[in-house]
Amino acid sequence: MRRASTKRPPTRKAPTEAPSGTTPAARPASEKTAIFRFFAYSLLPLMNVLARYRVHGLENVPAAGSFVVAPNHYSNIDPIVIGLGLWRSGRMPRYLAKASLFRNPVVGALLRKAEQIPVERSGNSRDGVGPLKQAQDIAAAGHAVVIYPEGSLTRDPDGWPMRGKYGAVRTAMDAGIPLIPAASWGAQLVMPQKTNRISVFPRKTVDIVFGPPVDLSDFAGRPRDSRVLAEATARLMAAITALVEDLRDEKAPVERWNPTEHGQTEIGRFDDSH
């Protein structure tokens, strides 16, 4: 088994902040609403104690309008990491979140206020038609929607992106909005892949990168059948994997991990053998 590298990308990466005098006027003032500021001010102090964050590719995040962000998924804390990156861009993320979180009266009320999207993890629907319709509705309102194309934590033993599902590309294609690949690396040092335990010391470094939009123009006018969706998803996963390779400074396996070929489930509690 390969040992994942902890190398960090060279300083030639994109700057962490957009050039002054260009983006502030373009950003909608309403993005950082009270509910998002509540989440940010509740989480950011702890997150900044745990790690420092180097955000690259902010120029690839649309200043206004809707888009889909499709990141890799390798730690239970990496959604917060991606949210932190989007916070720095000035855009506020809407996630597909586990429906069980919405059943808590307090947490559920906060998530609904922030327009997060409940998803039942029963496994009965490969792509979650209901939640994706809600994601498209939110995108139609001009917001950013984060959809993890892997659907769950990667089962690849070295943390590389595994086989993707169709939800992210279908949402972007149906809504006619940009599909932004994203990646982070280092969150597994804060919260290891198979646990919810947080490592506080020493302070870690986490890199976050937003890539250029995935070009889906050649799919225009073609039917949304499984062949088209699979081809578009493979293109997306290749873009995400390339970003992860840059962050890790190593090459991913030629063949992407497929959980079903290894007797693994893609939903529920992470387990190497099921």
Query: What are the pLDDT digits (tens) for 199-250?
Result: 888 999 999 999 999 999 999 888 889 999 999 999 999 999 999 999 999 9
**Peptide bond connecting 71 to the previous residue in cis, omega within 30 degrees of 0:** no
Look at residue 232 in the predicted model and tell me its pLDDT. 96
Which residue's structure tokens are 């949304």?
A: 224
182 within 8 A of 210, measured Cβ to Cβ = yes
Average pLDDT over every residue of 32-53: 91
Taken in order 137, 139, 142, 143, the sign of the CA dihedral is: positive
16 vs 133 pLDDT, higher one? 133
Rounded-to-integer distance, Cα 226 and Cα 119, Å: 22
Residue 272 has pLDDT above 60, yes or no: no
In the prediction, which pLDDT does 119 show?
Answer: 76
Portion of the chain with pLDDT greater than 90, in percent: 49
Label residue 267 left, alpha or beta by phi (over 0 means left) and psi (-120 to 50 means alpha). beta
Alpha-carbon gap, residue 158 to 166, rounded angstroms: 23
- In angstroms, the CA 219 to CA 232 distance is 8
The pLDDT confidence band at residue 14, using thresholds 50, 70 and 90, is very low
Tens of pLDDT, residue by residue over 95-119, are 877 777 788 888 788 888 888 888 7
pLDDT at 16: 39
Q: Would you say residue 253 has pLDDT above 50?
A: yes
User: Token digits for 94?
Assistant: 């809407």
pLDDT given at position 30: 60
Do residues 94 and 143 make contact, with C-beta atoms less than 8 angstroms apart? yes
Condensed to tens digits (0 to 9), the pLDDT of residues 143-194 reads: 899 999 998 899 999 999 999 999 899 989 988 899 999 999 999 999 988 7
Tell me which of 267 and 27 has the higher pLDDT: 267
Cα–Cα–Cα angle for 12, 54, 21, rounded to 5 degrees: 80
Spatial neighbors of 79 by CB under 8 A, at least 6 apart, are: 73, 95, 146, 148
DSSP 119-168: E--SSS-SS-HHHHHHHHHHHHTT-EEE--TTSSS---TT-------SHH
Entry field: residues in the chain: 274
**What does pTM read for this prediction?**
0.81
pLDDT of residue 269: 53
CA distance 96 to 149: 11
Per-residue pLDDT band at 267 (split at 50, 70, 90): low
pLDDT of residue 78: 92
Q: Is 264 exposed, middle or buried (0-12, 13-18, 19+ CB in 10 A)?
A: middle
Distance between CA 18 and CA 26 in Å, rounded? Answer: 12
What was the pLDDT predicted at 128? 43
pLDDT score of 10 more than 80: no
Number of H helices, E strands in the chain: 7, 7
The one-letter amino acid code at 64 reads: A
Q: How confident is the model at residue 50 (pLDDT cuts 50, 70, 90)?
A: very high
pLDDT digits (tens, 9 = 90+) for 54-80: 999 999 999 999 999 999 999 989 999
Structure confidence at residue 161 (pLDDT): 96
Closest residue by Cα to residue 83 from 187, 194, 166: 187
- Left, alpha or beta for 174 (phi > 0: left; psi -120 to 50: alpha)? alpha
